[in-house]
Amino acid sequence: MMPSLQHLLYLAAFLFCTGLAVVMVKRNTIMMLLGIELMLNASNLNLVAFNRLYPASLDGQMFALFVIIVAVCEAAVGLAIVLRVYQHYQTSVPDEISELKG
């Protein structure tokens, strides 16, 4: 038999908590983006796993596809902002970016 739904949900919860810890711990904006991607993937894993409960509808997989689309937009715009901020402040440590004056 296949592993139960619970195991996938435990994995997704673990990935989400790891992503949260990565966002909180790392002192680098790109590492924080990696953590956000990890959290988005954990939520996608949950959606696909719950789709196994209702295999006829495929609504979970559709929603996972839309989440992937939005995650791509977030990554592109986020990295563009990171590059721009790096160009301006010469640092990618978010704690050191503390002045509002352009």
Partner 1 sequence: MNTLTFIFYFFMLTAAASATGILLSRNVFKAALMLLVCLLSIAALYVLSFAEFVAITQILVYAGGVLVVIIFGIMLTSKLSGKPLQVGHTNIFAAVLSGILLFALLANFITDDVFAVPQHAVETQGALQTIGTNFMTAYSLPFEIAGILLLAALIGAAAITSFMKSKKV
- Could you give the CA distance from residue 12 to residue 53 in angstroms, rounded to a whole number? 16
Determine, following the binding rule CB under 8 A, whether residue 96 of this chain makes contact with partner 1: no
Interacting residue with partner 1 among 43, 93, 97, 101 (CB under 8 A): 93
CB 20 within 8 A of CB 39: yes
The pattern of x and - marking residues 14 through 53 that bind partner 1 according to CB under 8 A reads: xxxxxxxxx-xxxxx-xx-xxx-xx--x--xx--xxxxxx
User: Collapsing DSSP states into helix, strand and coil, what is residue 33?
Assistant: helix
Residue 98 is a binding residue for partner 1 (CB under 8 A): no
Query: Applying CB under 8 A, what is the total number of residues that bind partner 1?
Result: 72
